[in-house]
Amino acid sequence: MATRKPAAKPNVSADELKQFYRDMLLIRRFEEKAGQLYGMGLIGGFCHLYIGQEAVVVGLESAAEEGDKRITTYRDHGHMLACGMNPDGVMAELTGREGGYSKGKGGSMHMFSREKHFYGGHGIVGANVPLGAGLAFADKYLENGRVTFTYFGDGAANQGQVYETFNMAALWKLPVIFVIENNQYAMGTSQKRSTSTEDIYTRGAPFGIPGELVDGMDVLAVKEAGEKAVAHCREGKGPYILEVKTYRYRGHSMSDPAKYRTREEVQKMRDEKDGIEHVRDLLISGKHATEDDLKAIDKEIKDIVNQSAEFAKESPEPEASELWTDIYADDIPQGAAMEEDA
Ligand SMILES: Cc1ncc(C[n+]2csc(CCOP(=O)(O)OP(=O)(O)O)c2C)c(N)n1
Ligand SMILES: [Mg+2]
């Protein structure tokens, strides 16, 4: 960590800082474990890890209040853990088991929690952006003061539907924060090769949507920007864009050999910018925690993650009859809707 800039003075309490450390570490260890289970053949299908990007979602969740909503892409495990979903249920969904959030029918990209206001998990690049504006439309209509965090990537930011959404969201002053998680790659394509301008956060300007560039490896900077964006939305001023600069350490998905960048590039980010090490430095240098305190947190997290993996292995496969459940929002029994129509 010798090359890292001196840590900025934290604008949070020691307890909050420790909570950030815990929350980011949970995501990292959970994802490492998911990677192991994938390697053992226990997770099938796609699996996109969030390792490296933890400070983004943890910082933004600290700016959210009960009832606020979130919707994201297929790189979604971190978002679920950060909003308080149970690691056992998330891991069991990854292994396709009955105890998973979608009863084993959705897998990595398709989990939801009404209780935590988490609206997925979406595999189609860009498609969750209009859905996020829709959630915000409902809140505006209900006048309930809630805000929706709509996360998408730098690659998705080049999609047409994003700009149709910006237009409607600005026109109707929807309480939606568009969070562009710019991890600098869209699969194997770097931002430089795919994107005409460097500053994606300025792309709301033609629609009158303010935007801000944020250091996504610094959880405190993310929290501060998040609070500003939330206040803007709650005051009824309409949407806000946060382009959060981050980096994914692993490949695009588990099947990516990552030949489009060098090992040195990844190592440099890990050594100089890691979001978890940043908070660790703040805790130790500010004397808010000792090495032993942090070791105790590490153990606590390791136990939670190991328990989730055990649960995910032991939970049974779903029954075939599960194919017929959760098709309609209120789980209408098969045939009932047609009988009503007849
Ligand atoms: C409409 C559509 N086109 C292509 C794909 C294939 N695809 C999956 S992820 C991805 C890259 C998206 O990159 P970005 O938006 O930067 O998100 P990141 O994976 O970096 O989080 C592509 C092209 C898809 N899932 N959906
Ligand atoms: Mg990307």
- Distance (Å, rounded) from C-alpha 41 to C-alpha 220? 37
Per the structure block, which two tokens stand in for 117?
A: 């206001």
Q: Distance (Å, rounded) from C-alpha 322 to C-alpha 225?
A: 43
Q: Which ligand 1 atom is nearest residue 181's CA? A: 21
**Distance between CA atoms of residues 71 and 341, nearest Å:** 33
Looking at residues 315-340, what average pLDDT do you find? 74
Alpha carbon of 200 to ligand 2 centroid (Å): 12
Look at residue 335 and tell me whether its pLDDT is greater than 60: no
In tens, the pLDDT along 231-248 reads: 999 999 999 999 999 999
pLDDT band at 327 (very low <50, low <70, confident <90, very high): confident
Alpha helices in the chain (DSSP H): 14-39, 54-61, 77-82, 87-94, 128-142, 160-171, 191-194, 219-234, 263-273, 275-285, 291-314, 336-341
The CA 326 to ligand 2 mean position distance, Å, reads 31
Query: pLDDT tens digits for 58-72?
Result: 999 999 999 999 999
Atom 25 in ligand 1: residue holding the nearest Cα: 124
Lining ligand 1 with CB less than 6 A are: 73, 75, 123-125, 153-156, 183, 185-187, 252
Could you read off the pLDDT of 257-312 as tens digits, one per residue? Answer: 889 999 999 999 999 999 999 999 999 999 999 999 999 999 999 999 999 999 99
Rounded to the nearest whole angstrom, what is the distance from the C-alpha of residue 170 to the centroid of ligand 1?
Answer: 25
CA of residue 108 relative to chain centroid, distance: 13
Q: Whose CA is nearest to atom 20 of ligand 1?
A: 186
Output the residue whose Cα is nearest ligand 1's atom 12: 186
**What pLDDT is recorded for position 329?**
73
Instruction: Give CA–CA dist 111/36, Å, rounded.
Output: 20
CA of 4 to the centre of ligand 2 (A): 24
